[in-house]
Structure 1
Amino acid sequence: MIYQKYVKRILDITLSCASIIVLSPVMGVTAILVKQKLGSPVIFKQKRPGKDEKIFTMYKFRTMTDERDEKGELLPDSIRLTKFGKMLRSTSLDELPELFNIFKGDMSIVGPRPQLIKDLVFMTPEQRKRQTVLPGLTGWAQINGRNDVTWEDKFKYDLEYLKNISFLKDYKIIVKTITKVFVREGINAKGMDTAEDLGDYLLKQKMISLNQYNMLTKKAERL
């Protein structure tokens, strides 16, 4: 309890600050390459639900182009995600700007990964308990499959983490995360370039109706 309430935040500030300083050359080079290969803006900003479902702006390096069809609509992610973008994701270099989110207090080094706002409305009350702590750069679900894990298992791991937040567990998660990044394991769900939204998954699995899907999607748009 003392670790979770006081020590964890101190470690987040210390580690994120040190990482920003040490990795600043890497982030600088990455920013230049993103600018050259994908254009502006270099930083991708997106609203995500954080602790107690408070919405914050998460920062990442851009990995996709803004290619659109003749109607002006964005092309599918699989088309806009370039080879360079895939490399950024596989090495987790695109996640480095989240260190600033951690330093600000929006996120923690370790915690449940911040999902999309539209994912939040499709979660059950039990699953939404994951929002009682700061979202993390990495988490228990990430070392047990990263993105190649089912939604059910992802939530199971997130809730398991909440039951036992400790320095030793966080240390173990950080070390295993570094290993997974180096071996580039579990980057994508099988057969997919980007992660499937929770609502789309539930609809495909016939766990919700099309009417429920549309209703909850509209609810997410109002958040």
Structure 2
Amino acid sequence: MYEAGGKRLMDLAGAALLLVLLAPLLLGVALAVRLALGRPVLFRQVRAGRDGRPFTLLKFRSMAEGPGEDAARLSRFGRKLRASALDELPQLLNVLRGEMSLVGPRPLPPDYTPLFSPGQAARLRVRPGLAGLAQAAGRNALPWGPRLALDAAYAARPSFLGDLRLILRCALLALRGQGATAPGHATMPAFRGED
């Protein structure tokens, strides 16, 4: 019953409430991004949603515009923003639009989808989320193989109490600034399908 309708109701109510409660914080982060990095304030990128359907993900921008490696474009401000997970807050709008959920596997670029094994592709059975089982286990510090396995495990059995626990665990990781990057990388290495 939760998966059939209750999860979406929780997403709508939770995202709407969070947008209202966090409005001053959202405005403050938007202003900080504008001052530190200029325009645009939001970063938009196509990601694969439920069943692999593409959608445009929203984030506060954390890198300088233009070509180059992530490490070169990621400023000290951007690293702190990413570590705090505040850059992810605009995705509450993706949740309201039904493209994402509060809890689910993190949305990945569509060009990763054909590289998934059948077991890994099970992650696409549910809407992607802001928080999830893999995020609670270490965010980007978790290697691709275990990360995708946890995503598939979550997609097999979402639950209300499980989702509440995952939201709390992910919030604690973000408050500690843990797991925002993979070891030796500015963000996360690209998935090549070998895991």
Alignment TM-score > 0.5, same fold = yes
Establish whether residue 82 from structure 1 lines up as the match of residue 72 from structure 2.
no
Alignment of 1:8-157 (within 5 A): 8-67=7-66, 74-157=67-150
In structure 1, distance between residues paired with 2:3 and 2:121? 19
TM-score of the pair, normalised by structure 2: 0.96
Q: Point out 4+ residue stretches in structure 1 off by more than 3 angstroms.
A: none
Q: Is residue 2:169 matched to residue 1:176?
A: yes
Aligned length: 195
Q: CA deviation at 1:121?
A: 2.2
TM-score in terms of structure 1 length: 0.85
Which of the pair has more CA radius of gyration?
Answer: 1
Instruction: Report the Cα distance in structure 2 between the residues aligned to 1:28 and 1:115, rounded to whole angstroms.
Output: 26
Establish whether residue 198 from structure 1 lines up as the match of residue 187 from structure 2: no
Structure 1 unmatched ranges of 5 or more: 68-73, 208-223
Q: Quick one: which amino acid aligns to residue 50 of structure 2?
A: K
Aligned-residue offset at 1:163: 2.4
Percent identity, aligned pairs only, is: 36
RMSD over aligned Cα atoms: 1.2
Q: Equivalent residue of 2:21, what SS? A: helix
State the distance in 1 between where 2:155 and 2:68 align.
38
Partner of 2:152: 159
